[in-house]
A and B are shown apart, each in its own frame.
Chain A
Amino acid sequence: MSDSGNKTGKLVMVSRATQVKEAALATLFFICAFVAVLAVFLIFAFVAWKASPLFSQIGLWDFLTGTQWSVEDNIYGIVPFLLGSLIVTAGALIIGAPLAVLTSVFLSEIAKPRVRNIIRPAVELLAGIPSVVYGFFGVVVVAPLVARAGGGAGFGPLTGWIILSIMIVPTIATLSEDALKSIPMGIREASFAMGATQWQTIYKVVLPAAKIGIIDAVILGMGRAIGETMAVLMVVGNAPQLFAGINAPISTLTSQIVLGMSYSSGLHRTALFGMAAILFLISMALVLTVRLMARDQKRKTKKKDKRL
């Protein structure tokens, strides 16, 4: 930090015109950056405002703990969707996270450059596939397979897990590869010098060193999974019921919002905004966790540096 010196960017030996230009550009960049902040704030304020009648008309407790959702009867309990989102996300993580982390280890530790240059773009390309295409793939290919294996129509958590776990691989794999690559080469060399094999080096040295970064990656992957809408909507069956088996249709917060928003009105719409607010809080909590962990890690490494 200290070597960057003159941080305010004031130019001393240039003309006034240049200074004005620099200032104007700085302002422009600030405005661009501020748009994001403003957007987040406005969206949250809007969602919260739209959801606020919930407190008086449904009651927060009934809303959060009610297990029945029926628009016809004006009963809005979101436990089925909270649970649905949780089940779908957890399953996707259980399948997808190991897949992605092992991919990243392979890319960063094992693969030769030529292999890496094929696999890495392929993984990155996965992130570029629109989610409706994943959903389509799920409906046309995965759901019939699941139906053949387990009966029913093939819509449910299992199909959702399979599709979502593929979708979160690029997020987790690229981020955790970054984490692995940031581990200094010297650590690996030291490990090899001690006579450790490659597997021992990866398992005992590199992975523990990159632990925080990898957990970050998994948490962000979780955020992606919980917020995923279109693909999930197409494959989970959207039945507002509690978990009834991996092959029985369930619904999630996101898919229910999409299904409801086009026609909802009154209390129903309020409930949908309430669900949106909860999604917002969940992803905020996830981002916050990542931040806190990063800060913790920084503090720890600083302490270590001091000790040394």
Chain B
Amino acid sequence: MHRIGTRSGTRPPFRPGTRLRALCHARHARLSPCVAAGLLVLILGASCVLVAGCSGDKRHVDSITVSGSTTILPIAEQAAEDFQKQHADTSILVSGMGSSAGIEAVGVTHTADIGTTSRELKDDETQLDLDMIPIANDGIAVIVHPDNPINGLSTNEIRQIFAGRITNWSQVGGADIPITLINRDEASGTRDAFATTIMQNAPFEIDAVVLPGTGQVREVVTRTPGAIGYISVGFVAPRFVDTPVKALIVDGIEPTEENIATGRYPLSRKLYFLMPKHPSILAEQYLQYVLSSEVQEGAVRDAGFLPVISGNLNLPTGSTSQSSGDK
């Protein structure tokens, strides 16, 4: 106390503040060397721990990052989880940011070891020198409210609807309800596939609600009587959701597994892993695991997709053998 007393004599008098403030000040004056030293130690210590931690991690735990399509997320996540259980000291980080972001992450910024995409590469993306390995088959289902009497549409009708030229369900033989369009955002691989197969690159009606996720499209269609949207068949009837939507028959062909695998269903596509030409060992192991029958018949089917290979281990499909031939 004595010290504070003498000091306050030399210091400018404080403005009449609260007692608390004066108290803080007094304590601060006494502790200031400790505070300064403490701060310094804290900062230095923190940075040391960080640096040590990072370098330590690399030595002990193998880690890869998988990012890209939200469609592929459930497969990649489930496979990563099981893979890490079987291989201790490995870490596989999976994230879904959209196909375009995944392609950029593995091909341009190199922030991911594996990119995932649910669409084909565009011209400038094919120059990125990436291996494109199909890991699952998928179909896009055009979904409507379960109470909608419409059961099927032609690709042309769907195109007209999404281009905004057909605006009422009565125009395609349904009830007199205005059509509420639900679209995906432009980063979506599903939208891209839909645009190329159905729209044939005719512009979408801009009046459509744009939602940034498959789940949200499904949710909104579930509760909106006049709505129409499109999602991966894998999400039409997922295990943990009990709200129904109706998937339409397109051009007279049902979106069944068989029709999608054979490509008869007009909205079929493949899901890909994108790998750099010289992937890390762990990335290669993870890919092989995803292509194994365990994942193909497990996680892939669980997520509602179709296996690219049935029960045949390590048998790459057409484009893999091509790209490995390039090596």
Query: Bound state CA distance, A24 and B32, in angstroms?
Result: 11
**Interface residue? B324 (CB, 8 A):** no
Chain A residues contacting B219 (CB-CB under 8 Å) are 139
Given A153-B182, A239-B209, A241-B207, the answer on whether A24 and B36 have CB atoms closer than 8 Å is yes
Q: How far is the CB of A258 from chain B (nearest CB, A)?
A: 8
Q: Are A155 and B209 in contact (CB under 8 A)?
A: yes
**Does B79 touch A at the CB level, under 8 Å?**
no
> Is residue B144 contacting chain A, with contact meaning CB distance below 8 A?
no
Q: Are A7 and B208 in contact (CB under 8 A)?
A: no
- Kindly specify which of B9-17, B46-54, B311-319 makes contact with the partner chain: B9-17
Report A257-281 CB contacts with B as 1/0, cut-off 8 Å. Answer: 0011011000000000000000000
A23-39 toward B: CB 8 Å interface, digit per residue (1/0)? 01100100000000000
With beta carbons under 8 angstroms apart, the residue of B10, B211, B216 that contacts A13 is B10
Interface with B: A50-58, A86-94, A144-152, which one?
A144-152
A6–B12 CB distance below 8 A: yes
- Residue B302 at the A interface, CB < 8 A? no
Q: Is the CB of A263 within 8 A of B203?
A: no
Q: How far is the CB of A60 from chain B (nearest CB, A)?
A: 23
Indicate whether A263 sits within 8 Å of B206 (C-beta atoms), given known contacts A153-B180, A154-B224.
no
From known contacts A12-B10, A259-B185, infer whether A139 and B207 are also in contact, taking CB-CB under 8 Å.
Answer: no
User: Does A42 belong to the interface (CB within 8 Å)?
Assistant: no
B223 CB contacts on chain A under 8 angstroms: 144, 147
B108 → chain A, closest Cβ, in Å? 9
* A interface bracket (residues with beta carbon within 8 Å of B): 35 or more
Q: How far is the CB of A163 from chain B (nearest CB, A)?
A: 15
For B100, give its contact among A22, A28, A239, A262 (CB under 8 Å).
A262
Is B97's CB within 8 Å of the partner chain A? Answer: yes
A118 at the interface (CB under 8 A from B): no
- By DSSP majority rule, is chain B's interface helix, strand, loop, or mixed? mixed
B201 to chain A, nearest CB (A): 7
The answer for the CA separation of A260 and B210 in the assembled complex, in Å, is 12
Beta-carbon contact of A153 and B186 below 8 Å: no
Kindly state whether residue B135 has any CB partner on chain A within 8 Å. no
Contact of A28 among B7, B15, B39, B98 (CB under 8 A): B39
Q: CB distance B208 to A239 under 8 Å?
A: yes
Residues of B within 8 A of A11 (CB): 10-11
B211 touches A238 (CB 8 A): yes
Chain A residues closer than 8 Å to B98, beta-carbon distance: 262-263
Give the residue of B15, B97, B224 whose beta carbon is less than 8 angstroms from that of A3.
B15
Establish whether residues B10 and A259, one from each chain, have CB atoms under 8 Å apart when the complex forms.
no
Q: Is the CB of A262 within 8 A of B97?
A: yes
Q: Are B185 and A238 in contact (CB under 8 A)?
A: yes
Q: How large is the interface on B (under 10, 10 to 19, 20 to 34, 35 or more residues)?
A: 35 or more
B155 to chain A, nearest CB (A): 19
Please name the residue on chain A nearest to B195 by beta carbon.
A72
> Would B212 and A72 count as touching, CB distance under 8 A?
no
Alpha-carbon gap, A230 to B305, bound state (A): 30
**Binary interface profile of B, 179-203, with partner A (CB < 8 Å = 1, else 0)?**
0101001110000000000000101
Tell me whether A4 and B207 are in contact (CB under 8 A). no
Are A239 and B206 touching (Cβ within 8 A)?
Answer: yes
Contact B206 A240 (CB under 8 A): yes
- Nearest chain B CB to A251 CB, angstrom units: 8
Please tell me if B101 contacts chain A, counting CB pairs below 8 Å. yes
A233 at the interface (CB under 8 A from B): yes
- B163 interfacial by beta-carbon distance below 8 Å: no
Establish whether residues B212 and A233, one from each chain, have CB atoms under 8 Å apart when the complex forms.
yes
Interface centre among B9, B15, B223 (most CB of A within 10 A): B223
CB distance from A294 to the nearest CB of B (A): 20
Tell whether A306 is near chain B: CB-to-CB under 8 Å.
Answer: no
The chain B residue sitting closest to A24, CB to CB, is B36
Asked if B309 is at the interface of the complex by the 8 Å CB criterion, the answer is: no
Interface pair A72/B203, CB less than 8 Å apart: yes
Q: Please, what's the 1-or-0 string for B160-187, where 1 marks a CB less than 8 Å from any CB in chain A?
A: 0000000000000000001010100111
27 A-B pairs, CB-CB below 8 angstroms?
A: A3-B13, A6-B12, A11-B10, A13-B9, A21-B36, A24-B36, A28-B36, A28-B39, A72-B201, A147-B223, A151-B226, A152-B180, A153-B182, A155-B209, A155-B220, A238-B185, A238-B211, A238-B212, A239-B206, A244-B207, A249-B209, A259-B185, A259-B187, A260-B186, A262-B98, A262-B100, A263-B187
Question: Beyond A233-B212, A249-B207, A262-B98: 10 further Cβ-contacts under 8 Å?
Answer: A21-B32, A73-B203, A151-B226, A155-B209, A238-B209, A249-B209, A259-B187, A259-B210, A260-B187, A262-B101
Interface residues of A (CB under 8 A from B): 3-7, 11-14, 21-22, 24-25, 28, 70-73, 139, 143-144, 147, 151-155, 233, 237-241, 244, 248-249, 251, 259-260, 262-263
